[in-house]
């Protein structure tokens, strides 16, 4: 249960740090927002001042436009009010960070979203020792156990190669920020041309500016030669299936990359030919590993299957509880920036 001296409490605007007088990933407009990463459910418009990790500045500007933004390199410290703040890699997407808060010898860490499996598009997850850990649990059920990403990408390349040999385009669906770039970094660019949706390319540019190696890509609207579609890989957000791209690619084979593809029947419900189980969130073993590595004796669980993880942690002798947040809107992450909700 919340205590009077908690370093992070829930307010209508979001997660608030009283001794620092700032919010972490607030969902309503505030004066100072500390942002864990640029996904739209965590980074919303309307705040007066933003603080994020230095590697995340480009993607945050690509999503939110001109904002008052300060970047903090990983591991560097900044005093906000009475609190010493530092950012540490979360391994989720480019620039994603866990926020470490230190106040009067107490240390809290707010994880944002994270995954423990490294990938070439972002700095790997770094466990941070703390007294209290606020963790996500998007995939907080024992059924979620990811296979190595290299195996999944081998399946993607085989699927694309088969379609290319038959003269069919391959439409690969994944969120425009993070998932799309992870897919692009893992595909075999020698199979054929790669085309991306207009929502994907600005984020590709931000990734390239941070030194992330991505293959050459063409914007969908710039393709004039229809023969190019034969054998092409087209990377687009799931929302593209409702737009002109889907009409132009009505003969394509389509696939969706998502952790939700782990569930039986998910591919059928998504109405796609192939489902590839690839997630930018920690699976069940990853969550347990990450929590244990912090050494925290108190764990606060947000957005996901909170009840299951809380009960499991309590059975291990930890003090665990759930906190309700407005995070976890994957469709918003696909669509783009989220504006604030009405008071």
The mean pLDDT of 4-10, rounded to a whole number, is 92
The H or E element that residue 9 is part of is: strand 9-11
Per-residue pLDDT, 69 = 98
Residue 343 lies in a domain: no
DSSP 258-296: -GGGGSTTHHHHHT-SEEE---SS--HHHHHHHHHHHT-
In CATH, what number is assigned to the domain containing residue 105? Answer: 3.60.15.10
Residue 104 lies in a domain: yes
Last-in-domain residue among 228, 255, 276: 276
| pLDDT for residue 330 | 53
Q: How many domains does the chain have?
A: 2
Same domain as 264, residue 178 = yes
The tokens describing 304, both together, are 């996901």
Measured in Å, how far apart are the chain's first and last C-alpha atoms? 25
Residues 6+ apart with CB under 8 A from 179: 257, 258, 278, 280
284 and 270, same structural domain? Answer: no
HSE-up (13 A, CA, CB side) for residue 99: 31
Residue 219 sits in the same domain as residue 166: yes
Indicate whether 263 and 290 sit together in one domain. Answer: no
Question: Would 341 be classed as within a structural domain?
Answer: no
Is 237 in the same domain as 137? no
Q: How far is CA 10 from the centre of its chain?
A: 22
Give per-residue pLDDT as tens, 186-224: 999 999 999 999 999 999 999 999 999 999 999 988 888
Using left for φ > 0, alpha for ψ between -120 and 50, and beta otherwise, residue 7 falls in: alpha
Nearest-CA neighbor of 137 among 316, 321, 263?
A: 321
Residues of the chain above pLDDT 70, percent:
95
280-335 residue pLDDT tens = 999 999 999 999 999 999 999 999 989 999 999 999 999 999 999 999 855 445 54
Q: Same domain, yes or no, for 61 and 160? A: no
DSSP H or E segment with residue 100: strand 97-103
Whole-number Å distance between alpha carbons of 218 and 41: 28
CATH of residue 196's domain is 3.40.50.10890
- Under the banding of pLDDT at 50, 70 and 90, the label for residue 111 is very high
Segment 37-64, tens digit of pLDDT: 999 999 999 999 999 999 999 999 999 9
For residue 288, the enclosing domain spans 9-144+280-335
Pair (139, 286) in one structural domain: yes
- Residue 188, burial from CB neighbour count under 10 angstroms (0-12, 13-18, 19+): middle
Structure tokens at 27: 């969902």
In terms of domains, do 154 and 258 share one?
yes
Residue at 68 is within a domain:
yes
Cα 232 from Cα 180, distance rounded (Å): 16
Q: What is the mean pLDDT of the chain?
A: 92
The verdict on 185 and 111 lying in the same domain is: no
Rounded CA-CA distance 127/292 in Å is 9
- The answer to whether residue 200 sits within a structural domain is yes
Q: Which of 254, 276, 298 is the last residue of a domain?
A: 276
Q: What are the tens digits of pLDDT across the range 215-269?
A: 999 998 888 887 788 899 999 999 888 777 777 787 899 999 999 999 888 777 7
Residues 57, 122 within the same domain: yes
End of a domain among 227, 254, 276? 276
pLDDT-based confidence at residue 123 (cuts at 50, 70, 90)? very high
State whether 47 and 86 are in the same domain.
yes
User: Which pair of structure tokens corresponds to residue 131?
Assistant: 């007294």
State pTM to two decimals.
Answer: 0.93
* β-pair partners for 274: 255
Distance CA(258)–CA(248), nearest Å, equals 24
Question: Which tokens is 83 given?
Answer: 């609190």
Same domain? For 137 and 13 the reply is yes
Is 1 domain-assigned? Answer: no
* pLDDT for the residue 329: 57
């Amino acid at each position: 249960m919340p205590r009077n001296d908690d370093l992070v409490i829930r307010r209508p605007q979001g997660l608030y740090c009283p001794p620092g007088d700032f919010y972490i990933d607030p969902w309503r407009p505030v004066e100072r927002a500390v942002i864990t990463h640029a996904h739209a459910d965590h980074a919303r418009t309307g705040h007066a001042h933003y603080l994020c990790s230095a590697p995340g500045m480009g993607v945050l500007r690509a999503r939110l436009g001109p904002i008052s933004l300060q970047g903090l390199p990983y591991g560097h410290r900044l005093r906000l009010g009475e609190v010493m703040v530092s950012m540490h890699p979360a391994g989720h997407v480019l620039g994603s960070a866990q926020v470490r808060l230190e106040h009067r010898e107490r240390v809290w860490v707010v994880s944002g979203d994270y995954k423990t499996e490294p990938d070439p598009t972002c700095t790997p997850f770094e466990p941070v020792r703390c007294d209290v850990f606020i963790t996500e649990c998007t995939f907080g059920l024992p059924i979620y156990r990811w296979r190595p990403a290299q195996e999944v990408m081998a399946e993607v390349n085989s699927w694309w190669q088969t379609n290319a040999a038959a003269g069919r385009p391959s439409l690969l669906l994944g969120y425009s920020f993070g998932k799309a770039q992870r897919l692009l970094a893992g595909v075999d660019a020698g199979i054929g041309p790669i085309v991306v949706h207009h929502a994907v390319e600005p984020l590709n540019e931000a990734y390239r500016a941070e030194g992330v190696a991505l293959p050459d890509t063409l914007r969908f609207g710039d393709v004039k030669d229809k023969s190019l579609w034969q054998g092409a890989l087209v990377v687009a957000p799931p929302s593209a299936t409702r737009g002109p791209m889907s009409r132009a690619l009505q003969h394509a084979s389509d696939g969706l990359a998502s952790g939700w593809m782990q569930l039986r029947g998910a591919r059928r419900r998504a109405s796609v030919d192939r489902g590839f189980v690839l997630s930018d969130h920690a699976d069940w073993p990853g969550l347990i590993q990450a929590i244990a590595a912090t050494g925290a004796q108190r764990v606060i669980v947000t957005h996901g299957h909170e009840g299951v993880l809380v009960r499991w942690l309590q059975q291990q002798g930890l003090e665990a509880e759930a906190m309700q947040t407005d995070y976890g809107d994957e469709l918003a992450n696909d669509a783009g920036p989220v504006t604030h909700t009405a008071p």
